[in-house]
Amino acid sequence: MQDRSLTRRTVLASATATAATAAGLVGATATPAAAHRRGDRIEKIISAMSVEAKIGQLFVPYFYGTSATSPSPLDQERNLAELGVRTVAELIAKYQVGGVICFSGWANNIQDPAQVAELTNGVQRASLALPTPVPSLISIDQEHGANVRIGNGATQLPGAMALGAGRSLSDARTAGYISGAELAALGIHQNFAPVADVNVNPANPIINVRSFGADAREVGRMVAAQVAGYRRAGVVACAKHFPGHGDTGEDSHTGLPVITHSREEWERVDAPPFRAAIAAGVDSIMTAHLQVPALDPSNDPATLSPAILQGVLRGELGFEGVIVTDALNMRGVRTKYGDDRVPVLALKAGADQLLFPPDIDVAYNGVLAAVRAGEITEERLEESVRRILRLKDKAGLLGGSPYVSPKEVDRVVGARAHRRAAARIAERTTTLLVNDDGALPLRRTQKKLLVVGASPAFPTDATRTTVPELAKAFEELGYGTTQLATGRTPDAAKIDEAVAAARGRDAVVVTTDNVGATSAQRTLVARLLATGVPVVHLAVRNPYDIAHLGDVPASLASYCWTETELRAAARVIAGRVAPRGRLPVPVQRADDPAAVLFPLGHGLSYDD
């Protein structure tokens, strides 16, 4: 079988690649004449649009179903109940929306690559059937690591914090390129990544391992590298969540967080990654639904703040691209205003794309009423439409065919070369935190393993869970394994079962997931240590877990629990590769959070 390389030749359908190159997104330098022609094309489109069509271009709603025109009866019912239409094609026809966002799981948009390509082609057919035919900018949240939408068949790459542990700009750029290449082949041209938040709060419930780390400079370097990778692949990257969501203990999905940083702290901690993204040419930036009194004393959410979006992001940072709101169904942006007013206030603040309104009809008509009343001028409306059309042009949607080829999907998505690159990157990110008395790598005599502990479902496939997949990875390396998933909250009976299973084993590999001060996972680890069987600990999500686990002789962090990271961790534990990752965040002591247990940059190798 012929190997599939990482060259652009294998990445994009020819029409899309040609259009993206001509647009200057993947390395070509546009001539003044070409730029003038693109400008004329955009102005011609705008002049042909009704006010209603211009408003539609601003919205990026969700929808249910795997097909643009014939979703399942259940998905049609859901669409009808929540969107007032049966299909996404009808949604596009009714509101002339400029784009849609795809989700796996609850929205049932994603099954496999071939189906996704058929869906996006169906969305484009519906968009080109509008009175003013303009292709859709189809979006997704494919961050990788813990936040993945396309799993089955696509390459699973290490997420942001893992890449931060690897410290390699080349790896971050390659990961962005592979992700973008596969999305482009599927007909998805805007990815809401990378996360530019600096995770300085270990208790952050929403960002955490989605961040590259706690060092603003390093986060900025990684963000810029990922932006470059996405741009090379012809996909629109989106740095998020401005002005910075890394120091909050509250989830903006369920509340309105407050960032208490002073202006000086914001400049030092939160701003650098966004400045780096802008310098790297990022084409879109997503807002955060949180209050930052140092930037806007009105305490409106940043999404609705002219002081933050126009004054800081556009004025001080000089960003000229598309400003995207975070999802408008989130509680953080709905605490002060009604759903009809939120999109209006977001536009007045300076936003362009209105993402995921909770009720598209209410939101759309709220903006329409504001335009008719003169609260939002048509000139202001056209500013945002113009930016969105420029984005579509850069993505190759206006200068070429928006359709993708099924053959290209098969050739690019999950390509063998992509998977090999992902595996190598993951090996370089796995971090060895503790290795007392040379506990690792496992000795040749340690062939009988118990794999036990927390077993979260894969971000990409809920039918696959961590402990069985990790045991499988060890079996493929020649180990005999017994497995026992005890979950995040093991009871006394399950812990007793784990202790019994450890007897007669040469070593125990125990996984943890988000250990806290009162977590039963602490008891599980302590009881396993008391058996006298050598214990190896693997934190499959937060690297902070080790602070709660006492004197574990060997501890590693993988930063996520996809197949790619688990296989890499197994290879490191077995000694097939040496650990190279270094903590991108400091780990504080559990008994004294002001004291550092492991500093930022800590990471052992087998030579230490």
Span 63-89, pLDDT tens digits: 999 999 999 999 999 999 999 999 999
Q: 290: closest CA among 349, 357, 335, 321?
A: 335
Nearest alpha carbon to residue 297 among 321, 263, 334: 263
Tell me the one-letter amino acid at 166: G
Q: Which of 43, 212, 60 is nearest to 583 (CA)?
A: 212
- Nearest CA among 465, 450, 470, 452 for reference residue 558: 470
Structure tokens at 603: 């990471």
Around Cβ 460, how many Cβ atoms within 10 Å?
19
Amino acid 349: pLDDT: 98
Which of the residues 75, 270, 283, 326 is marked catalytic?
Answer: 326
pLDDT of residue 115: 97
Give CA–CA dist 432/558, Å, rounded: 9
**What is the C-alpha separation between 561 and 458, in angstroms, rounded?**
7
pLDDT at 2: 37
Let me know how many helices (H) and strands (E) the chain has, helices first: 22, 16
In angstroms, rounded to a whole number, what is the distance separating the alpha carbons of residues 223 and 485?
36
Instruction: Please report the pLDDT score of residue 15 as a whole number.
Output: 31
Domain range 8-412, CATH class: alpha beta
* Identity of the amino acid at 241: H
CA distances from 492 to 483, 496, 498, 499, 527 (A): 18, 6, 10, 11, 11
Backbone φ, ψ for residue 455 (5° rounding): -140, 65
Instruction: Report the greatest alpha carbon distance in the chain.
Output: 79
Active site residue 393: no
User: What residues contact residue 40 under an 8 Å CB cut-off, 6+ apart?
Assistant: none
Q: Which amino acid is at 440?
A: L
Contact predicate 439/509, CB 8 Å: no
253 is catalytic: yes
φ, ψ of residue 354 to 5 degrees: the values are -110, 105
CA-closest candidate to residue 87, choices 100, 98, 358, 354: 100
| Complete edge-to-edge strand list for the sheet that includes strand 322-324 | 101-102, 139-140, 190-191, 236-242, 284-287, 322-324
- Phi, psi (5° rounding) for residue 111? -115, -55
Q: What is the pLDDT of residue 399?
A: 85
Domain regions of the chain by residue span:
8-412, 430-598
Q: Which of 112, 253, 339, 361 is catalytic?
A: 253
| Complete edge-to-edge strand list for the sheet that includes strand 535-539 | 431-435, 554-557, 535-539, 507-512, 448-453, 480-485
- Whose structure tokens read 């795809």? 102
Question: How large a percentage of the chain has pLDDT more than 90?
Answer: 88
**Global confidence as pTM:** 0.93
From the list 115, 134, 112, 102, the residue with the least C-alpha distance to 70 is 115
pLDDT of residue 33: 67
Find all residues with CB under 8 Å of 206, minimum gap 6, and list them.
245, 248, 251, 252, 253
Number of other residues whose CB lies within 10 A of the CB of residue 24: 18
Tokens of 5: 């390389």
CB of 184 closer than 8 Å to CB of 120:
no
**Contact between 198 and 211 (Cβ < 8 Å):** yes
DSSP state of 373: T
Closest to 238 (Cα-Cα) out of 332, 156, 139: 139
Tell me the three state secondary structure of residue 536: strand
Is 521:512 a contact under the CB 8 Å cutoff? yes
CATH architecture of 430-598: 3-Layer(aba) Sandwich (3.40)
Fill in the DSSP letter of residue 133.
-
Q: Which residues contact 340 (CB under 8 A, 6 or more apart)?
A: 362, 363, 365, 366, 369
Tell the burial category of 318 from Cβ atoms under 10 Å away from its Cβ (0-12, 13-18, 19+): exposed
CA distances from 387 to 63, 393, 451, 601 (A): 24, 10, 52, 40
Cα distances (Å, whole numbers) of residue 533 to 49, 453, 521:
71, 15, 18
Burial tier of 587 (Cβ tally within 10 Å: 0-12, 13-18, 19+): buried
- List helix spans (H) across 144-243: 160-166, 169-185, 216-233
- Which portions of the chain are predicted below pLDDT 70? 1-30, 33-34, 36
Using DSSP, state whether 39 is helix, strand or coil.
Answer: helix
